């Protein structure tokens, strides 16, 4: 927060000196060095250069501050009664460096009021109050007051093995009948029986 004298500055040279006195010399140089040619077709569409955002100066009355700040790279101005979210938090990213004049900062109280009193400039407006006084959810859940009234933890339901057909699944058949593997191997190794030979002969006789 700076004094209201900043609002009456009309020269860019004065504004740059004021910003440097506030310790922004390195920040202003960083913005100037960040100027690069845009990648893509935006170069041909009046968007040739890209540059990082600098500090935002919020004022109450424009007595020349907009004219003084408009030619400083990266520095933007905004009236406190017409604050733009895209300027306060570009790209939805919080943490922009904002310089408030004293009059603008005092006017916030008139515009939005406090939690105890309403806003003088807005009829029927009250600041939104937080639904929870303590936002530490883990501490609330693990507290003795909450844990004492909770129901006990449910046990997982018992899982039963899937029933499989032993006539199709050889491993299941071997568990039911340990001699199945030996009998099966013996059937494969044994020569063809007489019934099979008779059946083949009868088939050849029928197909003549």
What lies within 8 Å, CB to CB, of 83 at 6+ separation is: 58
**Cβ 31 vs Cβ 56: under 8 Å:** no
d(CA 13, CA 5): 15
pLDDT at position 51 is: 95
183 pLDDT more than 80: yes
Nearest in space to 103 (alpha carbons), one of 59, 57, 64, 65 = 59
Q: Say what the pLDDT of residue 192 is.
A: 58
Given a cut of 80, whether residue 207 has pLDDT beyond it is yes
Q: pLDDT for 117-155, tens place per residue? A: 888 888 888 888 888 888 889 999 999 999 999 998 899
Residue 104, number of CB atoms within 10 A of its CB? 24
- Pairwise CA distance, residues 135 & 122, whole Å: 29
Give the residue among 22, 20, 1, 23 at the shortest CA–CA distance from 12.
20
pLDDT score at 189: 77
Number of alpha carbons in the 13 Å side-chain half-sphere of residue 93:
5
Per-residue pLDDT at 57 exceeds 80: yes
Q: What is the pTM of this model?
A: 0.62
| 182: Cα separation from own chain's centroid | 63
pLDDT the model gives residue 97 = 95
């Amino acid at each position: 927060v700076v004094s209201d004298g900043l609002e009456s500055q009309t020269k860019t040279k004065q504004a740059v000196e004021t910003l440097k006195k506030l310790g922004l010399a390195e920040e202003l140089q960083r913005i100037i060095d960040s100027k690069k040619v845009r990648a893509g077709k935006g170069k041909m569409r009046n968007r040739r250069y890209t540059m990082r955002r600098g500090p935002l100066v919020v004022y109450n009355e424009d007595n020349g501050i907009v004219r003084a700040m408009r030619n400083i790279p990266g520095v933007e101005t905004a009236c406190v009664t017409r604050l733009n979210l895209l300027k306060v938090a570009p790209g939805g990213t919080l943490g922009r460096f904002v310089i408030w004049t004293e009059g603008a900062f005092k006017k916030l109280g008139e515009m939005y009021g406090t939690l105890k009193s309403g806003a003088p400039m807005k009829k029927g407006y009250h600041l939104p109050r937080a639904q929870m006084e303590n936002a530490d959810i883990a501490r609330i859940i693990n507290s003795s007051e909450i844990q004492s009234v909770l129901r006990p933890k449910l046990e997982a339901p018992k899982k039963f093995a899937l029933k499989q057909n032993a006539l199709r699944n050889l491993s299941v058949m071997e568990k039911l009948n340990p001699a199945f593997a030996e009998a099966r191997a013996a059937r494969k190794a044994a020569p063809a029986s007489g019934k099979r030979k008779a059946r083949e002969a009868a088939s050849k006789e029928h197909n003549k």
